[in-house]
Amino acid sequence: MDQGGCPLNGGGPDYRPGPGVITLEDLESFDEDPQMDSGHASLENEAETMEEEHQGRLLNYWQVAARGHQVEVSPDMAQPIQQLTTNNQGRSEREQVPFSLITRKEKCGDVLYEKRSYEKANWACITVREDTYEQSICYGFMRIMKYMCEQNSLGEYLGMSLPIVTVVHTDKSQSVISRDVKVGYYLPANHQAQPPKPVDTDIIIEVWPAAVVYTRAFGGPTNEVTIVDQIRAMAEVLDARDLCVNDSFIIAGYTNPAHINRQNEIWFLER
C-alpha cells in the first residue's frame, strides 16, 4: 500500500434514519417486498415497469439516508445501486481482501490489535476533497461504485470486495486530518491480473506494494473526531509505534459509509 497516500446502520425500508443509514442488507430487503418481487409478469413492459419502480425506490432510500450526511445522491446512481443490490444477495458474494495474520495482541480476552501481512495488489482509487470526511467517503464510494457496476472497459459488474478503505493524512501532532481523502477499492481476484479501465478518468488503478499493517477494530460513525480518537487509542496500545508511518493512516470500512454503526478498523502501516 502506498504509504504516502495510497462501502455499510441497520433498519428496514420503514426505518427513518437519523444520520444517514444505508446497508447492503437494507437494500437487499427490497427484493423481499411482495410489491417488487412479483417477477412473474408475463408481459415485457410489465417487467420493465417493475424494474423502474424498483430502481426508483432504491434510489429514494439512498437519497433520504444520504441527506443526513449532507450528501446528494444523483439520479444517475439508480442503476449502479440496483446492480450492487442484485449482485450481492449474500455476504458470501463479497470478496475479502486477503491477508495473513502475523500476530495478535490481547489483554483480558480483548483483542488490542492485530499485525497482518497484505500482498501486492491492484486497487481502484479516487481522491476526493469535500467539506467533511463523511462527504468525501460517500462521494468517493459512489464514484467507485459506478466503476464497479459496469462503468469500466469490460462493461460488466466487477464484484464487491471488503473492506473499502480510505487513506487519510494528518499533521505532525496527529490532531488535524487533511481534507484530501483517498478512497480505495480492492479489485477482486479474477480482475487482479488485468484490471478493467475506469470510464471515470479521476479513478486511477494503483499497484499497492506488499505491506505489514497493524489493525484495531472499532465501531460507530467515522468522522474527523472519531478518526483522531482512534489514531490516539491505537498509538497507546501499539508496541511498535516507532516502526509505523506517523502521518498517514487507513480507515477500513466493512459497512456502508453512511451507516451510523459502522464496522471499521484503523490501520497503521509499518515503514
Domains of the chain and CATH, by start: 24-90 (no CATH), 92-269 (3.20.80.10)
Q: Which pLDDT value is given to residue 90? A: 52
Predicted confidence (pLDDT) per residue in 87-142, tens digit: 765 554 689 999 999 999 999 989 999 999 999 999 999 999 999 998 999 999 99
Average pLDDT, the chain: 81
Other beta carbons within 10 angstroms of residue 167's beta carbon come to 24
Using an 8 Å Cβ cutoff, are 84 and 158 in contact? Answer: no
CA distance 176 to 131: 14
111: CB partners within 8 A, 6+ apart: 104, 105, 217
For the record, the C-alpha cell of 174 comes out as 496527529
Sign of the Cα torsion 172, 177, 180, 186 reads positive
Contact 56, 73 (CB under 8 A): no
Taking only the tens place, the pLDDT of each residue in 211-244 is 999 999 999 888 999 999 999 999 999 987 788 9
pLDDT 10s digits, 176-214: 889 999 999 999 999 999 999 999 999 999 999 999 999
CA torsion, points 143, 223, 181, 157, in degrees to nearest 10?
A: -30
Angle made by CA atoms 28, 221, 128, in degrees to the nearest 5: 85
- 193 or 32, greater pLDDT: 193
When mean pLDDT is compared over 39-53, 145-159, 231-245, the highest value belongs to 145-159
Report for 61-75, 186-200, 243-257: range of highest mean pLDDT: 186-200
